[in-house]
């Protein structure tokens, strides 16, 4: 049994920022993450050939001017942003495979990316949190309560050990739908509230992303931005994914076929390469590396309810019925609970800011 003031469930951007702020104030906390890594849906992978590799984001890639929290955090941590490459022609492919070249328009022009990939941000946040306060490869199986404390049951993913963490507060810094389907909340939340959590779509959970890596940015040399839109697929939207400094270079695309139709990863990869060759020419059909991340197959991100692709950006925010849970001792804190920037990186920081405000506003029951 561990006695702490706050347990943070989830080591993504929101959970890490909450932990950093609690550490700044010398508050007692523990962060538990089910994955073997921190970052949550932020995933940066080194890809290429031999020693010629670079970092590519397989989860979120962008943020935008006017999203002040993430811009401020990047500056505070001494990191550097750069603008998405957008010079050149756009390619459009219709249902019949007919290809058109547009003039001077790039759909992601003005978007910002982080040098080194977004995992650089995750790692920088983690350096402000003592290692022993982050517990990886441990999942929460149930949350209960007694008269004074929240009792969180934590199981090692190997199934070899279980512990109970006693805390004054629990912050669920993971998607509400995932918390409702994967954690036993039966003793502390009525069914109606759990159903409300299940009804909140998890952003990005139905997506799959493919990155093709090349030695040269031949599309730029040919006057193309790397942007392409397709109604034939399997990639429905393609952009330049190249690092800021140098090669190797990359094109990435969002897969448009449903999760059930992309179980065969090799078949999907081959179809993506064939499409890239149709759009950008024969050189695009010979990548030196190809990486696929299917988030719908990731049990730490997607539940069975997330397999249907979202056709719109949900109107996120924390429903009134899901605030002040368990007399304010259970707090929801993922990007899906952000009012203004729900689903975005900025939304994760927006939610973290609200959670910290709620935690600092509570008087501890004990002197931790």
Q: pLDDT tens digits, the chain, 368 residues: what are they?
A: 679 999 999 999 999 999 999 999 999 999 999 999 999 999 999 999 998 999 999 999 999 999 999 999 999 999 999 999 999 999 999 999 999 998 656 778 899 999 999 999 999 999 999 999 999 999 999 999 988 899 999 999 877 678 999 999 999 999 999 999 999 999 999 999 999 999 999 999 999 999 999 999 999 999 999 999 999 999 999 999 999 988 899 999 999 999 988 999 999 999 999 999 999 999 999 999 999 999 999 999 999 888 777 777 889 999 999 999 999 999 999 999 999 999 999 999 999 999 999 999 865 444 44
**Tell me, what's the pLDDT at 104?**
58
What ranges do the domains of the chain cover?
1-42+118-202+310-368, 46-110+206-300
pTM value surpassing 0.85: yes
Phi, psi of 183 (to 5 degrees): -115, 135
- Considering the domain 46-110+206-300 in this protein, what is its CATH number? 3.90.660.10
Same fold? 1-42+118-202+310-368, 46-110+206-300: no
Partners of 224 in the β-ladder: 89
Count Cβ atoms below 10 Å from residue 89 Cβ, excluding itself.
20
**Tell me, what's the pLDDT at 365?**
42
**Tell me, what's the pLDDT at 159?**
72
The domain 1-42+118-202+310-368 is placed in CATH, from the list 3.90.1150.10, 3.50.50.60, 3.40.1710.10, 3.40.50.360, at: 3.50.50.60
**Tell me, what's the pLDDT at 278?**
97
**Tell me, what's the pLDDT at 366?**
43
């Amino acid at each position: 049994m561990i006695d702490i003031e706050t347990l943070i469930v989830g080591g993504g951007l929101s959970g890490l920022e909450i932990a950093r702020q609690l550490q700044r104030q010398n508050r007692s906390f523990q962060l538990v993450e089910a994955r073997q890594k921190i970052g949550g849906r932020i995933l940066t992978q080194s890809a290429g050939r031999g020693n010629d590799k670079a970092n590519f984001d397989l989860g979120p890639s962008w943020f935008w001017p006017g999203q002040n929290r993430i811009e401020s955090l990047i500056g505070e941590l001494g990191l550097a942003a750069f603008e998405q490459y957008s010079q050149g022609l756009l390619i459009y492919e219709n249902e019949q495979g007919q290809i058109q070249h547009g003039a001077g328009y790039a759909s992601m022009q003005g978007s910002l990316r982080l040098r080194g990939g977004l995992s650089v941000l995750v790692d920088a946040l983690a350096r402000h949190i003592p290692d022993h306060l982050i517990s990886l490869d441990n999942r929460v199986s149930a949350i209960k309560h007694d008269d004074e404390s929240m009792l969180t049951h934590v199981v090692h993913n190997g199934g070899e050990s279980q512990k109970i963490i006693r805390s004054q507060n629990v912050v669920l810094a993971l998607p509400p739908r995932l918390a409702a389907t994967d954690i036993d909340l039966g003793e502390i939340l009525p069914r109606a509230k759990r159903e409300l959590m299940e009804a909140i779509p998890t952003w990005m959970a139905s997506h799959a992303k493919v990155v093709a890596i090349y030695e040269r940015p031949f599309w730029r040399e040919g006057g193309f931005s790397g942007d392409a839109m397709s109604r034939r697929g399997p990639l429905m939207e393609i952009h330049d994914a190249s690092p800021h400094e140098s090669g190797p270079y990359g094109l990435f695309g969002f897969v448009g076929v449903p999760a059930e139709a992309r179980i065969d990863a090799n078949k999907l990869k081959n179809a993506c390469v064939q499409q890239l060759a149709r759009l950008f020419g024969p050189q695009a059909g010979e990548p030196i590396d190809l990486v696929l991340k299917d988030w719908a197959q990731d049990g730490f991100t997607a539940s069975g309810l997330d397999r249907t692709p979202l056709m719109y950006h949900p109107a996120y925010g924390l429903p009134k019925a899901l605030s002040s849970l368990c007399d304010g001792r259970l707090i929801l804190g993922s990007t899906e609970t952000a009012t203004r920037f729900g689903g975005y990186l900025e939304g994760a920081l927006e939610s973290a800011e609200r959670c910290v405000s709620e935690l600092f506003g509570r008087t501890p029951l004990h002197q931790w």
